[in-house]
Amino acid sequence: MRAVIQRVTEASCTVDHVITGKIGAGYVVLLGIEDADTDEDVQWLAQKIVNLRVFGDENGLMNKALADINGDILLISQFTLFAQTKKGNRPSFIRAAKPDKAIPIYERMIQVMTALTGKKVETGIFGADMKIRLLNDGPVTIIMDTKDKDNH
């Protein structure tokens, strides 16, 4: 499972001209799911994201986590995070999980993040053509992969 986490001052997701999710300060999390992903990966990644300390403290240092700023999460499914571009010019998405596997994991991630933050996690619509509007703050963008969880 891969996540691209962007610290934002505001963000929204629109599908067919309808806003499906909207946040103020917090994270836009683009989430890619592959077949090998498990609930253990969901738990690990959700904990890492929620506890990530990249918000400025009174000294301007990145010491505050999402809860410290009462921040929100906009979670967007994005299979293209598993694009393979080694051969040719057209990406292959063979590593990305098919919807029957990915949707339950995506929904589980929403549940876990909601439980960890105590707040509603805003979302897009899985598989839809989504338009994401955001104001990246910093910019701060962090990439995480659950394959890294075993490498201390």
Catalytic residues, by residue number, are 80
- Rg (C-alpha) for the chain, rounded Å, is 15
Q: Is the dihedral of CA 141, 146, 150, 151 positive or negative?
A: negative
Q: Is the C-alpha dihedral spanning 127, 25, 109, 122 positive or negative? A: negative
DSSP state of 92: B
Strands (E), 16-130: 18-23, 26-32, 55-56, 62-64, 72-77, 122-123
Distance of CA 57 to the CA centre of its chain: 23
